[in-house]
Amino acid sequence: MAFNATLETNNNIATIKLSGELDGLTASVFKIEVDKAASQKVKCLVLLMQDLEYMSSAGLRVLIFAKQKMGANVDIYVVGAQETVISTLQKTGFDQSVILLDDDNISELENV
């Protein structure tokens, strides 16, 4: 499946919907959307990953870049990630740098 990253901004919240396979060939697409989100000075970044099938180390590098680029005061939410993506985040310890939510807990974002 082809990779896609779509950015929407609403009420100081940037949301990037990811789908397909995030790897070395497609990571630049994700990075461009993170750059756009960071330039809008939002208070949180929401990554909708329900349709993300795979994330390589290149995708993880963009997540680390996102954390650095957005700044320490911006929370990053990873929503609906599949088990393989969550496993990658946990093995690297990056799950401690983001807020993991499943689809059932997405309502927590309304309080942001």
pLDDT digits (tens, 9 = 90+) for 9-50: 998 999 999 999 999 999 999 999 999 999 998 999 999 999
Residue range 83-112, pLDDT digits in tens: 999 998 999 999 999 999 987 666 666 666
Per-residue DSSP letters for 66-88? HHHHH-TTSEEEEES--HHHHHH
Q: What is the dihedral of CA 74, 78, 79, 84, to 10 degrees?
A: 180
Our measurement of the distance from residue 42's CA atom to the centroid of its chain's CA atoms, rounded to an integer in Å, reads 14
Beta bridge partners of 99: 77
Per-residue DSSP letters for 35-54? HHHHHTT-SEEEEEEEEEEE
Predicted model pTM:
0.91
Beta bridge partners of 20: 52
Q: What is the spatial distance between Cα 7 and Cα 14, in angstroms, rounded to a whole number?
A: 7
